[in-house]
Amino acid sequence: MDSMLADRLTAWRRHLHANPGLTLQEGPTAAFVVDKLRELGVTEIASGVGGHGVVATLRRGTSGAGGNRSVGLRADMDALPIQEMNPDLPHRSTVPGVMHACGHDGHTTALLGAAALLLKDEGWSGTVQLVCQPAEEGGGGARSMIADGLFRRFPMDRIFGWHNWPGLPAGTIAVHDGAVMAAGARFEITFDGHAGHAALPHLTRDPMLGAGHCIVALQGIVARNVDPLDAGVISVTVAQAGEATNQVPSRAVLKGTARWLRDETGDLLEAGMRRVAAGIAASYALEAEVEFRRGVPVTRNRPAERELAAAAAAAVTECRRDLLPAMTGEDFSWFMEEVPGAFVWIGNGSAEGGCELHNPHYDFNDAILPVASAYLAEAAKRALAG
């Protein structure tokens, strides 16, 4: 990639970082993407796909004896409800309480860079679908695009995506043999009791007591029910109860997330949570209700696409094949339920100083944009070449 294009991409990425669009509110981001695609010379662009989704189509010649091959390249573009804490960053978020704390600004920009590289490269033939997805952060953007006819309206034989990865050396690409990221669910456990004066607890049924025991007991599901060689996570991240310091409340609510790499483990976690909540409720004369909302499936690379991704990565930069999967989830998994694909990590560099994903001090590393764009373009060309 020439320095002029790299500088251009950096400026675009920093604009997106300064002007983040929250999940389901990505309209201005989508408009920016459309504007830059047109600036690059892309003419076939569809907006409003599955919400604020954008799909741009690049076509050149024909590919293969069997007809015109097609491939999809995907980026996500939504931000998070996190207040940025980078006061010295010139391109810090200008939207209170919203920031690109996961690098989707970089993912979107890298896809624009791939478009620029493919437009200048006459060494490929076929169709490339550039998929800019909204609402990845729990908003169901992938499924919304699928429901809106993504693969029917914009056919693709394969699809490739990526995520920046803090802690992995900048520009290094990691390709997993199977699972890349976990399946997950969001849960809510409600304990209902009987409110009363905090100085007269014997006249109440205290849901706080049940919630406290539940937080601890949930960890025993993983520790004593999940095979130590398997993977499972239960994290309670929200606790809501009470209105006054001198009142035992009538209700306590726990919320959080569960993650797993095998469907059987997900079933085990759900059954365990229901069992634990019911047992604690019976012990303290409470009523318990468990809501377990399953989200994304496991992000799992297909063998042929995995090897194609590894070859494309090795042609661009250093490729690692030895990393374990992460228990984070990824909406891209829904796309790979529809067509074969592969999902890779590209190192964002050091995670020191709070530069981890979903941290208020995070910032995408612009130095990896040329690698990310080149990888996407290379993967597309190799997929079209068969």
Helix, strand or coil for residue 127? strand
Q: What is the pLDDT of residue 386?
A: 79
Nearest to 319 by CA among 327, 328, 310: 310
Assigned token pair, 163: 């995520």
Return d(Cα 253, Cα 137) in angstroms, integer.
Answer: 23
Rg over alpha carbons for the chain, rounded to the nearest Å, is 23
Q: What is the pLDDT of residue 65?
A: 44
Q: What is the mean pLDDT of residues 67-91?
A: 95
Architecture of domain 183-294: 2-Layer Sandwich (3.30)
Return d(Cα 138, Cα 209) in angstroms, integer.
Answer: 31
Return d(Cα 24, Cα 42) in angstroms, integer.
Answer: 25
Q: How many residues does the chain have?
A: 386
Least trusted range by pLDDT, from 60-64, 185-189, 311-315: 60-64
pLDDT tens for 170-219 read: 999 999 998 999 999 999 999 999 999 999 999 999 999 999 999 999 99
Q: Is the dihedral of CA 345, 167, 347, 354 positive or negative?
A: positive
Least trusted range by pLDDT, from 31-35, 250-254, 352-356, 380-384: 352-356
Q: Is the pLDDT of residue 1 over 90?
A: no
Q: What is the pLDDT of residue 67?
A: 52
Architecture of domain 3-181+298-384: 3-Layer(aba) Sandwich (3.40)
Q: What is the mean pLDDT of residues 53-76?
A: 85
Cβ atoms 158, 343 nearer than 8 A: no
Return d(Cα 118, Cα 140) in angstroms, integer.
Answer: 29
Q: What is the pLDDT of residue 66?
A: 41
Return d(Cα 245, Cα 198) in angstroms, integer.
Answer: 8
Q: Is the dihedral of CA 242, 237, 186, 82 positive or negative?
A: positive
Give domain limits for the chain. 3-181+298-384, 183-294
Domains 3-181+298-384 and 183-294 share a fold: no
Which amino acid makes up residue 324?
L
Q: What are the contacts of 60-64 at 24+ separation with CB within 8 A?
A: 60/122, 60/124, 60/125, 60/126, 61/125, 61/126, 62/125, 62/126, 63/124, 63/125, 63/126, 63/127, 63/384, 63/385, 63/386, 64/126, 64/386
**pLDDT, mean over the chain:** 96
Task: Kindly indicate the confidence band of residue 68, based on its pLDDT and cuts at 50, 70 and 90.
Answer: confident
Share of the chain above pLDDT 90, in %: 96
pLDDT tens for 332-386 read: 999 999 999 999 999 999 999 889 999 999 999 999 999 999 999 999 999 999 7
Q: What is the pLDDT of residue 287?
A: 98
Cβ atoms 340, 305 nearer than 8 A: yes
Q: What is the mean pLDDT of residues 268-291?
A: 98
Q: What is the pLDDT of residue 61?
A: 85
Share of the chain above pLDDT 70, in %: 98
